[in-house]
């Protein structure tokens, strides 16, 4: 029986099937006590990517974007899986006993404990950023849900407004959020106006696709930064 692989786009890397494929790839290929995704050597990351390719497919022109998004989401997913294992206090079936014991030793180091404590304090503060009303799901998941509800692509400024405005009042959660959204929206409007001056309809469509993909990259980066959206207008140049 031939398994039919689901066709995905770069923006679908956080969807259920893609997420499941990433999780399965990690479980099947985690063969050393790497404490983070970044600690895995590049050559050892290749089998994870190859296993992912066996489960889903995409258009050739999306290869580089999906490859980048895969590593970002795999990093986030591995951190989640480790966190769940620590909270459960039990070795997951997909980790060998030697690997598990090595990870336990790493997690019990003073350096790691201090890092966790610092991260907790970091998340509890504004961290130089803004408050948000997004709850426990990721910024990228918010974008996916908005696209499904609106049946169209959404841009990063829309997602920011959705996650930084208090429900029922339409007021931003703080002054910094309001100013950030205002400044970013102004810059984004300028960029869109420049793209709309494209010479042909095809150029215009390609420009809109380019803006949307850059939006997706910003949303992915926001997830890697603990779901705080970093609105940087320079990324649209």
pLDDT digits (tens, 9 = 90+) for 202-219: 555 555 555 555 555 555
Is residue 117 a part of any domain in this protein?
Answer: no
Is residue 67 a part of any domain in this protein?
Answer: yes
Of 48 and 18, which is predicted with more confidence? Answer: 48
Average pLDDT, the chain: 76
Indicate whether 101 pLDDT > 60.
yes
- pLDDT for position 57: 92
How far apart CA 237 and CA 230 sit, in angstroms, is 16
By CB neighbour count within 10 A (0-12 exposed, 13-18 middle, 19+ buried), where does 187 fall?
Answer: middle
How far apart CA 155 and CA 235 sit, in angstroms, is 13
Backbone angles phi, psi at 155, to 5 degrees: -105, 165
Are residues 32 and 84 part of one domain? yes
Is residue 62 a part of any domain in this protein?
Answer: yes
Backbone angles phi, psi at 232, to 5 degrees: -120, 105
Check: CB of residue 30 under 8 Å from CB of residue 94: yes
Are residues 146 and 218 part of one domain? yes
Name the domain boundary from 95, 124, 151: 95
Is residue 34 a part of any domain in this protein?
Answer: yes
How far apart CA 69 and CA 75 sit, in angstroms, is 10
pLDDT confidence of 167, banded at 50, 70, 90?
confident
- pLDDT for position 36: 94
Domain count of the fold of the chain: 2
- What pLDDT digit, counting tens, does each position of 59-90 carry? 999 999 899 889 989 999 999 999 999 999 99
Are residues 229 and 173 part of one domain? yes
Residue 110 is classified by DSSP as H
How far apart CA 220 and CA 216 sit, in angstroms, is 6
Name the domain boundary from 39, 69, 95: 95
Are residues 28 and 83 part of one domain? yes
- pLDDT for position 120: 75
Residue 148, domain extent = 139-236
Are residues 209 and 148 part of one domain? yes
pLDDT confidence of 197, banded at 50, 70, 90?
low
Name the domain boundary from 29, 61, 95: 95
- pLDDT for position 212: 54
């Amino acid at each position: 029986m031939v398994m039919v692989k689901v066709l995905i786009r770069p923006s679908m890397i956080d969807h259920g099937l893609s997420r499941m494929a990433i999780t399965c790839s990690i479980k099947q290929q985690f063969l050393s006590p790497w404490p983070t995704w970044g600690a895995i050597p590049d050559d050892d990351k290749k089998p994870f990517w190859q296993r992912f390719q066996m489960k889903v497919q995409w258009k050739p022109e999306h290869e580089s974007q999906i490859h980048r998004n895969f590593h970002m989401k795999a990093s986030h997913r591995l951190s989640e899986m480790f966190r769940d294992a620590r909270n459960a206090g039990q070795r997951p079936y997909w980790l060998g006993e030697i690997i598990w014991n090595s990870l336990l030793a790493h997690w019990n180091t003073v350096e790691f404990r201090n890092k966790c404590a610092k991260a907790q304090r970091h998340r509890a503060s504004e961290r130089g950023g803004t408050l948000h009303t997004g709850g426990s799901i990721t910024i990228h998941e918010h974008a996916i849900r908005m696209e499904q509800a609106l049946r169209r692509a959404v841009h990063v400024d829309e997602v920011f407004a959705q996650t930084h405005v208090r429900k029922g009042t339409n007021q931003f959660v703080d002054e910094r959020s309001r100013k950030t959204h205002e400044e970013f929206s102004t810059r984004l409007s300028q960029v869109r106006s420049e793209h709309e001056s494209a010479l042909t309809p095809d150029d215009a469509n390609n420009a809109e696709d380019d803006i949307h993909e850059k939006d997706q990259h910003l949303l992915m980066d926001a997830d890697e930064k603990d779901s705080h959206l970093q609105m940087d207008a320079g990324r649209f140049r």
